[in-house]
Chains A and B, each alone.
Chain A
Amino acid sequence: MSEGNILEVTNVCKAFGGVQALLNVSFNVQEGEVFGIIGPNGSGKTTLINCITGFIKMNSGKVLYKGKDISYKAPNQIANLGLTRTFQIMRPYYSLPAYKNLIIPLFSPRARRKGGWRGGGKLGDRGTVSIDILEEIGFERDSFVPYKLASSLPTGYLKRLELARCLALRPDLILCDEVFSGLSMSEIASMVPLIEKLQMDGITLVMIEHRLRELFRVASRVMVLNFGEKLTEGIPEEVMADEKVKEAYLGSEKLLDYTFEA
């Protein structure tokens, strides 16, 4: 393990039946940075996150988190080490109010260890703490929104709720699976400062994104996946200038500017 790497992924392979979803993917994430993973649809980005967080068992490969081997651990063990994820298809507890959604992660061993027996330590019980977290993530504290059932919340709030669930675990590293997708431009515009704030709080972020412009505003390094293989990695400008990347995204080099605008 080299200095400053919080996550080291080495040669991850995964095949579904005959389809090779991931082939020898390796990358490192440095502590405190925002690392982007981009690639066309079906290039294995979500599978990669599933493999790292243990939701799918990979066929071979190694994942080191803070120098610890977490390759074949269960998702809940990995989450308790401080490596959390959001789901691309939001998975809130639809039958519970938004703030009670957060009581479940606050009940986890990690949150209890960090926050004391009642979840919030000196800050109060878990209900109070979850309202605090929701406010931090953009739910208006004095409105009725945090008390509404998750099933009646719009997409924008559900995406935030996904992030809030990760934050409740007091993570060191969050893997975000398309937090911007399905949001309107103004909602995205309000999410970007949130990501920047998380980064300033010292949380490392790995972001899978299709919204390249917003991603490049926050990400310091980007990796490109195509058909389960890593094409290239580097700072955003370099990556987008790469011929292989243009080809993978567009099939030709002409429309690169369009990608940047999209």
Chain B
Amino acid sequence: MSTIERRKERLDRGIKVRTEGIYAVSSWQEVTYLVLPRLILIVGLLLLPLLIPILGFSPYWKRVVSMAAIYGLLALGFDFLAHFVGLVSLGGAFFIGVGGYTAALLNKSLGLSPVFTIPMATVGGAIICTLLLLPALPLRGVYFAIVTLMYPLAIMRIIEALNIFGGTDGILGVAGFPNTWIEQYLIILIVIFALFGLRRLVNEDIGLVFRGVKDNDQSVRASGLSITLYKAIAVFIASGLGCLGGAYLAHIYMWAGISQFALDFSVIPIAATVIGGGGTLVGPLLGCFFLVPISEWLRTFGTLRIVFYSVILMAFIMFRSEGVMVYAQRKYHQFQRWVKV
């Protein structure tokens, strides 16, 4: 057997090693090596709204771009919580719903314009979410997952039962955006900012604390840091992203209703993260821009599309749990060859 005598050897590319410290960058090849992937991503995202009319898609697909970006925010939050803090949130819909309702209420009752309601709903919604999730934070294990799973379902029932916030009809007549260009570019800029902001954050000192909480929470306590406090900060950040998406959604559709607590918002971000590659932050974002259009395309099949994501999700988590982006990054940074043992 010839395969037994060989093994795969993976080596970092020389250029990767040289560009790791910023001081080592000296030639245009090295600069390109570092900047090109980011540039492609940013330019690609910015061109997306322009490409849709050029390629002959109907204006409906413009909205899909905004939706993908909103899901992207949720997926960033999920990836951040799951892979950098160690909290698995199964209830992205809860963040979306809280953000959406907060924005809609602010807009309808106080008459504020989206310029104010979106930031206020982001911060206010994040505070509400963090406070509600606080009891589950000091615990390890599945508690956070269970509680986040229950919240959206329970809130839906409460709204139905009490008939508050417009009951099953939702809040109608929320102010919209002046035009679709602003609508699309604003959310795309927010997503890009969130992506690079989070990437910076997880490598800062406070980000190291988050990763420490995931790795070894007892050690963090022995180091004089409260794990509950840092988990709460992380949940605040992630739920803030979700609430921002929810508030945006409410203004796009000019409506906030209980379907914002629907399962789609919980499942797609998780699926996107697993497919895109957990722990890379950029992977989940790209996963959303891949999955959401498919989801729109499958809309005629009703709930079958949730089956579709779930099956993809299971297949990836069973057989390719590293995800696409981790693979791509490895290919970019390393080359591999067969060597004789």
A complexed with B: yes
Q: Which residues of B contact A103 (CB under 8 A)?
A: 205, 208
The answer to whether B221 and A93 touch across the interface, beta carbons within 8 angstroms, is no
The answer to whether B215 and A87 touch across the interface, beta carbons within 8 angstroms, is no
The answer to whether B215 and A108 touch across the interface, beta carbons within 8 angstroms, is no
Q: Which residues of B contact A110 (CB under 8 A)?
A: 224
Q: Which residues of A contact B206 (CB under 8 A)?
A: 107
Q: Which of B209, B216, B227 is the one whose CB lies under 8 Å from A92?
A: B216
Q: Which residues of A contact B218 (CB under 8 A)?
A: 55, 87, 91
Which residues of B179-219 have CB atoms within 8 Å of chain A's CB atoms? 205-206, 208-209, 211-212, 215-216, 218-219
- Given known pairs A103-B205, A107-B205, A107-B209, the reply for A95 and B215 (CB within 8 Å) is yes
Closest chain B residue to A82, Cβ basis: B224
- Given known pairs A93-B215, A96-B215, the reply for A74 and B226 (CB within 8 Å) is yes
Q: Which of A74, A101, A107, A109 has the most CB of B within 10 A?
A: A107
B52 close to A (CB within 8 Å)? no
Q: Which residues of A contact B205 (CB under 8 A)?
A: 103, 106-107, 119, 126
The answer to whether A96 and B211 touch across the interface, beta carbons within 8 angstroms, is yes
B44 CB to closest chain A CB (Å) equals: 30
- Given known pairs A76-B225, A76-B226, A165-B223, the reply for A107 and B216 (CB within 8 Å) is no
Q: Which residues of B contact A80 (CB under 8 A)?
A: 224
B35 close to A (CB within 8 Å)? no
Q: Which of B205, B219, B222, B226 has the most CB of A within 10 A?
A: B222
Prevailing SS type, chain B contact patch? helix
B128 close to A (CB within 8 Å)? no
A94 to B224, CA, bound (A): 19
- Given known pairs A96-B208, A100-B208, the reply for A107 and B215 (CB within 8 Å) is no
B127 close to A (CB within 8 Å)? no
Q: How many residues of B contact A (CB 8 A)?
A: 18
Closest chain B residue to A104, Cβ basis: B212
Closest chain A residue to B215, Cβ basis: A93
Q: Which of B211, B219, B222, B224 is the one whose CB lies under 8 Å from A95?
A: B211
A80 CB to closest chain B CB (Å) equals: 4
A58 CB to closest chain B CB (Å) equals: 17
B309 CB to closest chain A CB (Å) equals: 29
A105 to B216, CA, bound (A): 13
A85 close to B (CB within 8 Å)? yes
A21 to B180, CA, bound (A): 68
Q: Residue-by-residue, is A201-223 near B (CB-CB < 8 Å gives 1, otherwise 0)?
A: 00000000000000000000000
The answer to whether A108 and B212 touch across the interface, beta carbons within 8 angstroms, is no
B144 CB to closest chain A CB (Å) equals: 20
- Given known pairs A93-B212, A93-B216, A96-B211, the reply for A104 and B223 (CB within 8 Å) is yes
The answer to whether B212 and A96 touch across the interface, beta carbons within 8 angstroms, is yes
A111 to B209, CA, bound (A): 14
Q: Which of B209, B219, B225 is the one whose CB lies under 8 Å from A91?
A: B219
A84 close to B (CB within 8 Å)? yes
Q: Which residues of A contact B216 (CB under 8 A)?
A: 91-94
A94 to B212, CA, bound (A): 9
Q: Residue-by-residue, is B241-276 near A (CB-CB < 8 Å gives 1, otherwise 0)?
A: 000000000000000000000000000000000000
The answer to whether A169 and B215 touch across the interface, beta carbons within 8 angstroms, is no
The answer to whether A79 and B222 touch across the interface, beta carbons within 8 angstroms, is yes
B306 close to A (CB within 8 Å)? no
A53 close to B (CB within 8 Å)? yes
A177 CB to closest chain B CB (Å) equals: 11
A75 close to B (CB within 8 Å)? yes
Q: Which residues of B contact A107 (CB under 8 A)?
A: 205-206, 208-209, 223, 225
B105 close to A (CB within 8 Å)? no
Given A93-B219, A96-B208, A96-B215, 7 other A-B residues pairs in contact with their CB atoms under 8 A: A76-B223, A76-B224, A87-B222, A91-B222, A93-B215, A95-B215, A169-B224
User: What are 22 A-B pairs at a CB distance below 8 A?
Assistant: A55-B218, A55-B222, A74-B221, A75-B222, A76-B223, A76-B227, A84-B224, A87-B219, A92-B219, A93-B215, A94-B215, A96-B208, A96-B215, A101-B212, A103-B205, A103-B208, A104-B208, A104-B212, A104-B223, A106-B205, A107-B208, A108-B224
